[in-house]
Every structure is written in C-alpha cells, then in structure tokens.
Amino acid sequence: MSPPYRRLSLWLDQVADDGDALTPRAGLTAATDADVVVVGGGLTGLWTAYYLTENDPGLDVLVVEQEIAGFGASGRNGGWCSALYPVPAATLAAEHGDAAARAMRAAMRDTVVEVAGVAAAEGIACDVAYGGTVVVARSAPQLRRARAEAAEGPRWGDEAELLDADGARARLAATDVRGGTYVPDCAALQPARLVRGLARVLEERGVRIVERSRVVGIEPGRVLVEHDEHDEHREPDEHRKHGEGARPGRTPALTAVRCRHVVRATEAWTPQLPGSRRAVVPVYSLMVATEPLGDDVWDAIGLRERETFSDHRHLIVYGQRTADGRLAFGGRGAPYHWRSAVRSQYDRAPGVFTALEQTLRELFPVLADARVTHRWGGPLAIARDWHASVGLDRRTGLAWAGGYVGDGLSTTNLAGRTLADLLTDRDTELTRLPWVGHRSRAWEPEPLRWLGINAGLRAMTLADREEELTGRPSVLERLVRPLLG
C-alpha cells in the first residue's frame, strides 16, 4: 500500500476524488542514460522538462522524484499564480540597473499569462480564475504600506490600484478595512490539478518520470538514485542516509544514470543533497480550508472574481476562494527546524492552525460556524539574500532553480522556460534576466541559523502586535528587516 498522499493537501484530496489514485509510477531499478536528468517532480522540474521538449522534441529527459509528482510545495500551495517575486524591483535595480529590474517585472507578469495559456492549451483543467489580488489595509501603518506599494508599482510597469475603504470592501468585505491595493496580475488556481496534469502531458510527450526514487548524489555527468521497491510502508519524507535504518539484511539499491546535464529542482529538500546543506533553508507555510460555503456567506465576503487576497500585515497571510466555494487560507509562523530538517510531521503545527482559524474568523465573522475540513502545510525554500535564482554551470553541466520563498507557483514556469533555453544553448531575453546565474551566499552554520530564523519569524508576529497596539509602523520590523533580507 502506498502512503496516503491525498492527505497532503485539500488540492491532492480533490485530485484523488477526480480519479487520480496518486499511485507512484515505477521507480528506477536499472542503470540508464539520458540527455537531461531533472531531480524533483515539482513545478520547477516539470516545467523544465516541458519547455525542453518544446525547444528540442528529440531530447531524452528523465525526471527523478523521491515521492510522486506534486508531492512537494507544488501540490500543496495557496494557488496564487501571481507576478510576485521575492526580491523587490528597487533592490534588483540597485544591483542590476533599472532596465533589468523592469525586464524582470515584465517577465513575471507575462508568466501569469503563460501558465494559464499552457494549462488551457494542454487541456489541464485547474480552475484558473484571472481575478487579480486584493490586499486590504486594516490599520494606519498598513494603509501607509498600501500607499507606498501603489506609488512604487508604475515605476516598474506594474499596475497597482490604490483603493479607498469602499473600493477595498467592495472586493473583500473583511473587518476594519480602511483601504487597500488591487493588482490585476494574478490568477487563482488549483495547484495539484496543474502539477498532476503537467506530469501526464509530459509522459504523453515521451518524458520518463520515475517516482519513489531518491537522488542521493549529483556529479558532473552522473546522478546516483536510491530506490527500495520493498520499502512500500515508509512514510513520505522518511529518508535516511543511504542504507541507514533499512530493514535487516536490506540496503536500498543504488542506480547510476549517465547524462549530459542535471537540473536540481529540489527546493526545500535541497539541503539534504551532499554539498548543498546551506544553499537554502526550508521554512514551513501552513493552510486551512473551510467546507464549501453558501451563496449568502459569499455575498457577505465578496471575492466575486475569485481575487486572491491578503492584508498588509508583516507575517504573511494569503487566501483564495476556491472553484467549489471554499475559503482556503494560509500563513507562515511555523518554526524553522534544527539543521534544515524536513519531516512529514512538521506539515502540521496545531498552534499555527488555531491561529490561522482565529485570524480567518476575525477577518470574516460570518465564518463563525463554518467547518474547517482540511489542514495541511509544506516547506518552501529561502536563499540567504531572499534572491530566487536559476542557472547553468557550463563547465560541469549542472543546472539549478529555486529559492522562490512563497512566490514559486508562477516563477517555476519562468525558471522552466529559462533553464530550457540555457540547456539548449539559446541566448534569449529570458537568459539575460537578472536572476540568471545569481549566486546567494550560504546560510550561517547552526546554531546561528536556527536562532536567527526563529527570532526573525517571532519578530514579524511581534511587529504586527506592536502596530495593533501603537497604530504606528513597527520599530521592531525596521530593526530586523535588514538582518532578514
């Protein structure tokens, strides 16, 4: 019996109801060759394979996934397919110039259109609603941030409309709304339907996908893969050092794949790969979803165009009205775990779920009696300078993409297109974007990493409380932000 993947998120649960049993595909059991080995079957890996086959249908591409396609953040996220990118345009401009920053913003906006367009063209029904994003301001400091954001947007080509209280409430009737911003460049979608659909399309194109096969070593021209066909009962994420803890007399088999290029698309699991321990840190984001709500409830809340929504607090919260009328709502706040550990038990933090449900009912008192039917979470990855990046080391043939923080649903598509161009030797507008080839410095060793990240997460919660109490922009946030970014 395979692990209960459907319990990983509302979205995977729905996919299972659609008739996708989430049964793992065959693992890698015999040595093989490929032109490109993609490590990780999330959206980064699958989009890369997709555009590689667009650029060169003759390429032999092998995707190696330790669980099933969509097991990671790609099958569990908030479904905001947005033009957000973790580095502010002004920071990109300071490092690379105004034109490069504007090009990156334009590429991100185009990416939202691209994702929706490919899903439609490939017949992947993933409930896309191009409703934009409304972010309400519920205090004076939040209103200041809304004004600043709306003023900054046009400088980089972004449309960001400043809303007065009535305008914001017309889109999202949360409590205490004083104004907000509306950005058109976002689509709400069902992420697991996207990632599972994409995997199906790839197989139809002849891309090989092997599952429950874990890459334990990446070298120029060679990837080492571990697959234990007898280890059917292990829980997801129960990975060990090669062979460690295996049942007596059994060591999982190691298989080598020879290839020209390797793409590392492992996001929050990257620190588990030899040589990448401090490349990014895994940070958890958690979500809850209500039962489908009645029309009367939706009349009271709004989101008529299925706008994705948030407010301008520091510790991020995010939500979407799902196609079947639920409210799916998430936020950060779960702790960082010692030595960048990623374990299935960290997907659930009862204290964070309670806080999310409280926040949801505070925002929308009409939800007082609504039942929460799903609670889940997953790890995302953050680079030391919060700079997502994509690149190819031509000397070794090793490529990578990741560090998207909470903005990967669309950015993975841009990464996939860019990697495909790099790997097929094309010099394009995409390969000249400022995140290409960016190298972030390594995170600090423990215990500094644990202390710093958890102090930062705590500081953001306290900064929101400070603003609630004082009605002024948080001093704490101003002190801590340079250390975090």
Ligand X SMILES: Cc1cc2nc3c(=O)[nH]c(=O)nc-3n(C[C@H](O)[C@H](O)[C@H](O)COP(=O)(O)OP(=O)(O)OC[C@H]3O[C@@H](n4cnc5c(N)ncnc54)[C@H](O)[C@@H]3O)c2cc1C
List contacts with ligand X (CB under 6 A).
Answer: 39-45, 64-67, 71-74, 76-80, 82, 214-215, 265-269, 273, 285, 287, 318, 330, 377-380, 402, 404, 406-410, 412
Nearer to ligand X, 254 or 366 (CB): 254
Biggest CA–CA distance in the chain, Å, is: 69
CB of 316 to ligand X, least distance (A): 9
CB of 472 to ligand X, least distance (A): 30
CB of 278 to ligand X, least distance (A): 16
CB of 46 to ligand X, least distance (A): 7
Nearer to ligand X, 407 or 477 (CB): 407
Nearer to ligand X, 59 or 187 (CB): 187
**358 and 365 in contact (C-beta within 8 Å)?**
no
Nearer to ligand X, 179 or 191 (CB): 191
Nearer to ligand X, 39 or 257 (CB): 39
Nearer to ligand X, 79 or 434 (CB): 79
Cα(403)–Cα(220) distance, integer angstroms: 22
Nearer to ligand X, 143 or 186 (CB): 186
**16 and 7 in contact (C-beta within 8 Å)?**
no
Nearer to ligand X, 48 or 474 (CB): 48
Residue of 22, 15, 29 whose CA lies nearest to 64: 29
CB of 296 to ligand X, least distance (A): 27
Angstrom CA distances, 307 to 80, 90, 100, 159, 279, stand at 9, 26, 29, 15, 34
CB of 273 to ligand X, least distance (A): 6
Residue of 243, 239, 246, 244 whose CA lies nearest to 272: 239
Indicate the pairing of strand 214-219 with strand 222-227.
antiparallel
Residue least distant from ligand X (Cβ): 408
- From the number of C-beta atoms within 10 Å of its C-beta (0-12, 13-18, 19+), residue 369 rates as exposed
CA distance between the termini of the chain = 44
Residue matched to tokens 């490349």 = 279
Backbone angles phi, psi at 30, to 5 degrees: -135, 145
CB of 2 to ligand X, least distance (A): 14
- From the number of C-beta atoms within 10 Å of its C-beta (0-12, 13-18, 19+), residue 399 rates as buried
Nearer to ligand X, 139 or 285 (CB): 285
Residue 308: which H helix or E strand, with range?
Answer: strand 308-311
CB of 482 to ligand X, least distance (A): 24
Residue 259: which H helix or E strand, with range?
Answer: strand 253-264
CB of 344 to ligand X, least distance (A): 11
With residues binned 3-state (H G I as helix, E B as strand, rest as coil), the percentages for the chain, rounded to 5, are: 40, 25, 40
The one-letter amino acid at 245: G
